[in-house]
Amino acid sequence: MNLVIVESPGKIKKIQSFLGASFRVMASVGHVRDLPEKEIGVEPPDFRPHYVPTDRGKDVLAKLASAAKDAEAVYLATDPDREGEAIAWHLEDALRLKGAKRITYTEITDTAVKAALGNARSVDRDLVAAQEGRRVLDRLVGYMVSPVLSRQVGERFSAGRVQSPAVRLVVDRERAIRNFRVTVHYGVELTFEAAEHITDGWKAAWLPKRGWLAEGEEYILDKAIAAQVAAVSALEVSDCQESESKAAPPAPFVTSTLQQAASAALKINPKRTMELAQKLYEAGHITYMRTDSPNLSEEAVAAIRSWAGQHDYPLPAKPRAWKSKAGAQEAHEAIRPTHIEVEEAGETEEEKALYRMIRLRAIASQLSDAVFAVRVVTLTGTVDGKQAVVFEARGRALIEPGWKALTAKDETDEDDEEPENQVPQVEPGRQLSPQAATVLTKKTKPPARYTEAALIKELEHRGIGRPSTYAAILDNITGRGYLQLEKRQLVPTAKGEKVVDSLVDYFAFLDYEFTRQMEEDLDRIAEGQVQYLAVVSAAHSQLDQELGQFVVKTSPKCPDCGKPLRHMVKADSKDKKGYNFWSCSGYPDCPATFADAGGVPGDRQEKKALEPSGFDCPKCGKPLIRRTGTSKAGKPYDFFGCSGFKAGCKASFDVKEDGTPDFEKAEKKKQS
């Protein structure tokens, strides 16, 4: 019997049906080990992670160990990405497997799975190191910065290597919107009478940059000037240009564009999109959904072109190939149907809608360009017989639909459509008089708030995060209350703005370029160009230095010794009382403490002087002090203690009914 270990239980039945009785397919159910929850789990100088089984992983590992013991061969068939490679290594290490075979496939079909078995390899330790680097860097930022940040600001906050820059993007955009000042400006639109087949007339817009704006000016701010231009009564056609424009189809979906398109066209958020895509993948309907390569396999392209030809869709002479973005991980192809001829797949309406979108996008990517006839007419005239004025009429018409015959609109490029303003063919030199003139009042618009789709696009553009992380980033920053959705737009909360302001001037991981460079370093680890230890130790050293500077620069100073004060905060719990005060970091040399006054140090907390009781300690002769109060556990106490306890005398005595020390009871205890 051969054992095949996959990640998801949803794949077991399908793959088992391909392999038959000589194979047993089991699932790791994702990660079986991780860093510990209540400690950082990684320390200098070697930064070797301390892994522990997850709660679910304990039982999974026990079952897999039992099955592996009797297996002739063990195949690690976890997902074909860094995360999957890391899970394969964890299984190999935790189960102490000797000679385990690593196999990958990007579609769950009989052909692909059996081909993978014939191309087994060992676990790629460079890919594992890259995933480990990401996990450890995230842990260092979270565990080193978050507690210090919370203590300094007096509020529970978390910092994240990638989540914090994502929050910053939204905060920066929101502040740009708040600070935006609307500029009212003016334009002119002329309407000419119907011509040829254009029944509603055609329009031309004034080009004020042609002689009406001084250098550095962008808009006409004087309405009277626009009204003066609108009074133009005669114009001459100075040019009529005929041309064609082509619109290439969009590339097949990668992870980020799938999330963007599903958000824009289907109103499905990124996290849900990935859940639906996972189900389609596990059912064998689509290829692997975590990828940033926009290209398809040769076999897939051939199948699409064959299907398109059979259904009379236009094809270019050569198959299309797409340029990947910088840093793309091209281990496997773009997202596509496993069988292009299958028009509908999925169990739910959401799954079916997502599948249709993936299928149409894959087919469209190989079809011919859409071709438009473009006509631009330039008209010139004079205002009051003096100053020249130029108008332009621009229009286009679809003459060859190409890929648009299959899908009329690219879901992700919503702002790329030109108006279908049809313009007649007019000969240069022809004299025209406008039928109507309209002065247009225009207002500049602030930048738009990010939608989830737009934020993913921006993160990808800046090189922050990777395909497998986008949905988790959004889920994290909204779940922690740093951002909220309002009419499908992301808006920072007061908490989100505060966490950004608290970090941005002190830590490099808030810098967009630094974060992009760190992602590139992780890619270089995956490619074997740099070592895990070099990247992680350098990041830790910088972070440690920044933390020290952060504490010094953000802490109030102790009036007694000048050292930073620390905000000591702990909430009440069932068994322990909470506290909220400021303490000198020089303790115990400097014991100064101060009450909290709304997040800043308040009045000094003076310790109540303990006066001698009039009785001396029979052990050392120093004065006894009567101590009364309530312990942290809530229990009252009342006893006499020696004032020389710091010098080593621990003598204490109960209080008798008359309020004196019970020396006799203490002596009896000593003798017994």
Question: Active-site residues: which are they?
Answer: 288
What number of other Cβ atoms are within 10 A of residue 457's Cβ?
A: 18
CA distances from 530 to 42, 115, 128, 519 (A): 20, 32, 13, 13
CA distances from 584 to 591, 598, 632 (A): 7, 18, 22
Take residue 171 and report the two structure tokens written for it.
Answer: 């905060």
CA distances from 32 to 54, 119, 326 (A): 6, 25, 33
Q: Which long-range contacts (CB under 8 A, 24 or more apart) does 204-211 make?
A: 204/377, 204/379, 204/391, 204/392, 204/393, 204/434, 205/391, 205/392, 205/393, 206/389, 206/390, 206/391, 207/390, 207/391, 207/392, 210/388, 210/389, 210/390, 211/387, 211/388, 211/389, 211/390
Q: What is the 3-state secondary structure (H, E, C) of 519-556?
A: HHHHHHHHCCCCCHHHHHHHHHHHHHHHHHHHHHHHCC
Q: Which long-range contacts (CB under 8 A, 24 or more apart) does 654-662 make?
A: 655/626, 660/615, 661/613, 661/615, 661/624
For residue 95, what are the contacts with CB-CB under 8 A and spacing of at least 6? 61, 64, 65, 68, 74
Which of helix, strand or coil describes residue 187?
strand
How many CA within 13 A on the CB side of residue 335?
Answer: 29
Tell me the pairing of strands 431-432 and 235-247.
Answer: antiparallel
Which of helix, strand or coil describes residue 574?
coil
Question: Facing residues of 241 across strands?
Answer: 376
Burial 569-597 (b: 16+ CB within 10 A, else e): beeeeeeeeeeebbbbebeeeeebbbebe
Which of helix, strand or coil describes residue 462?
helix
Angle at 649 between CA 646 and CA 651, to 5 degrees: 125
Distance, in Å, from the CA atom of 102 to the CA atom of 180, rounded to the nearest integer, reads 55
What is residue 389's DSSP assignment? E
First CA to last CA across the chain, in angstroms?
72
Distance, in Å, from the CA atom of 454 to the CA atom of 450, rounded to the nearest integer, reads 5
What number of other Cβ atoms are within 10 A of residue 173's Cβ?
A: 21
- What stretch of H or E contains 149? helix 125-153
